[in-house]
């Protein structure tokens, strides 16, 4: 897949708010990622709490890629504070899919950018799915407020 798939209202506002609250509850278990000034919370230990959302994300990957089976190789909620940003990059080559779920949109900056010039401003509940190992992508600097996203990296089962 060389394209960027966008689906609005993938999550409802209550689901997004619950994810942000989950992050805030377990924030002390997140880690500081110095290179981009973010605080990811690895969700591997909490996967049962997100079964419904995870199932929707993997079903979308299967539908888009016409795969029989996929699995989540990494999954996290990320808090992006002012001055957080990420330069254009590729994800791991083993991951066929990268997905970003926007959990809020009440901040300035922090647009998702792609090497082809596409810029996406967050809309709460929207998912963006693409092949992150084939499409360079990044995030512009968060200028004000906190940006919360749920990130997925998905692999094919072989």
pLDDT score for 65: 86
pLDDT band per the 50, 70, 90 thresholds, residue 2 = low
Confidence at residue 1, expressed as pLDDT on a 0 to 100 scale = 46
Convert the pLDDT of each residue in 122-134 to its tens digit. 999 999 999 999 9
pLDDT of residue 66: 78
Strand residue runs (E) in 9-116? 38-42, 70-80, 86-89, 97-102, 108-109, 112-114
**Domains in the chain, start-ordered, CATH in brackets?**
5-156 (2.60.120.620)
Spatial distance between the Cα atoms of 138 and 117, rounded to a whole number of angstroms: 11
Q: Tokens 């998905």 correspond to what residue?
A: 154
The pLDDT tens digits for 15-37 are 999 999 999 999 999 999 999 99
Please state which of the ranges 22-31, 44-53, 141-150 shows the lowest mean pLDDT: 44-53
- Tokens (6 digits) for 24: 């805030």
- pTM value? 0.95
């Amino acid at each position: 897949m060389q394209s960027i798939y966008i689906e609005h209202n993938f999550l409802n506002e209550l689901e997004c708010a619950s994810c942000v609250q989950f992050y805030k509850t377990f924030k002390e278990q997140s880690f500081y990622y110095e290179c981009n000034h973010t605080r990811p919370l690895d969700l591997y230990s909490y996967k049962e709490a997100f079964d419904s959302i995870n199932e929707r994300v993997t079903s979308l990957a299967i539908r888009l890629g016409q795969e029989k089976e996929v699995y989540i190789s990494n999954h996290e909620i990320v808090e992006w504070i002012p001055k957080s940003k990420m330069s254009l990059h590729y994800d791991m080559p083993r991951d066929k899919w990268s997905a970003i779920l926007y959990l809020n949109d009440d901040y300035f900056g922090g647009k998702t950018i792609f090497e082809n010039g596409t810029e996406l401003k967050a809309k709460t509940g929207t998912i963006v799915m693409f092949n992150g190992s084939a499409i360079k992508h990044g995030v512009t600097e968060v200028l004000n407020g906190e940006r919360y996203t749920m990130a997925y990296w998905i692999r094919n089962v072989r």
